[in-house]
Structure 1
Amino acid sequence: MRWSGLAPVMGPDAEWLLLGSFPGVASLKAQQYYGHPRNQFWRLLGDVRGIELATLPYDARLEALKAQRIALWDVIAETEREGSLDSAIRNPAVSDLRRLLQELPALRVIGFNGGTAGRLGHRQLGDLAKVYRVVVLPSSSPAHTMPYDEKLRAWRALDATGDERPPHQG
């Protein structure tokens, strides 16, 4: 089956851009990023930022992201896939990340949620990846069976301030 992804969530002042690979079936059906109840994205990000996200209604989560200057999207715009696993992705059409970056002049950090997002995203960004601090994170998916505390330690790299690059002047 061919699926289309979700629209980006962003405010013009976003400093972080978090990119997944492509929404799972539960998320697509709900039309919500990280809509599977066992996906740890909202809990991880909330713990990194010190705010409660996981228990908020979805629209309030999106508003909280914008207030935290965080943008959200996926590296794949549409694809053929049976089920929700990244390994089942076939014939992906990539998202226009370069265009999105032009709309985010304050952006400093790009976080890829999982290895597939990291591989495809790096390929799309090319030399632009050097302009930002780029972090490939362990996937928040329930299929990625790493203990939560280990995932959280890795996700805290998003909030590291020692090597922040200045905002990109596009």
Structure 2
Amino acid sequence: MTSTIKRAFAPVVDERTRLLVLGSLPGDASLKAAQYYAHPKNGFWRLIGGVVERDLVALTYEDRLEALKAAGVGLWDVIASAERPGSLDAAIRSPEAADLRGLIAGLPELRAVAFNGATAARNGRRALAGLEGLTLVDLPSSSPAHTRPLAEKAAAWATLKPVLRESVER
């Protein structure tokens, strides 16, 4: 049997990052494209675009990342590597945790961490247990495997807007 070890991408953050959105681990479409949330049916870019009030879907991938950073939003995953045939989180085995605390220590403006889906929330909350001063937000997964209607997901993701506004007003 061939190895099914999958690895996370590098974090997309800078000194302006106020909100960090954490997924679980890139799926096959993302790994093949070397892009976060590359599966065409994944709602991430529409959902986070609603949060930052910008049409990110219309932009190139590089411009999407720059727009997120300019809005104070960073991306990463809670799992650095794991065995996983396919793309479903339920298939993740032997996960190696990402160094979330190490990343967060270098983000002076960080105010909130949002978890994209239940696997990200479960692993991320465990990794960040006891960390003071951050708002933690569990979100419905942007994955097409999570079948709630996009409008329902968008309403939940919209709760991030005040987090970004509050950070700007400080």
Give the TM-score category using the shorter length: over 0.9
Q: Give the drift of 1:12.
A: 1.1
Q: Give the drift of 1:160.
A: 2.5
**Are residue 113 (structure 1) and residue 121 (structure 2) matched?**
no
Q: CA RMSD in A?
A: 1.4
SS at 1:65's partner residue? helix
SS at 1:23's partner residue? coil
Mean Cα deviation higher: 130-139 or 140-149 = 130-139
Partner amino acid for 1:55? A
Distance 2:98 2:22 in 1: 10
Q: After the TM superposition, which residues 146-157 of structure 1 pair with which residues of structure 2 at under 5 Å, given as runs?
A: 146-157=148-159
Q: 2:162 aligns with which of 156, 160, 163?
A: 160
Distance 2:150 2:162 in 1: 19
**Are residue 98 (structure 1) and residue 101 (structure 2) matched?**
yes
The two structures have a TM-score, normalised by structure 2, of 0.92
Q: Give the drift of 1:2.
A: 0.7
Q: Is the 8 A contact 2:7 2:26 kept in 1?
A: no
1:168 is matched with none
Q: After the TM superposition, which residues 1-170 of structure 1 pair with which residues of structure 2 at under 5 Å, given as runs?
A: 1-128=4-131, 130-161=132-163
Q: Give the drift of 1:53.
A: 0.4
SS at 2:113's partner residue? strand
Question: Where in structure 1 are there 5+ consecutive unaligned residues?
Answer: 166-170
Percentage of matched positions with identical amino acids: 54
Distance 1:106 1:67 in 2: 13
Q: Is the 8 A contact 2:30 2:36 kept in 1?
A: yes
SS at 1:91's partner residue? strand
Task: Report the number of matched residues.
Answer: 163
Partner amino acid for 2:18? E
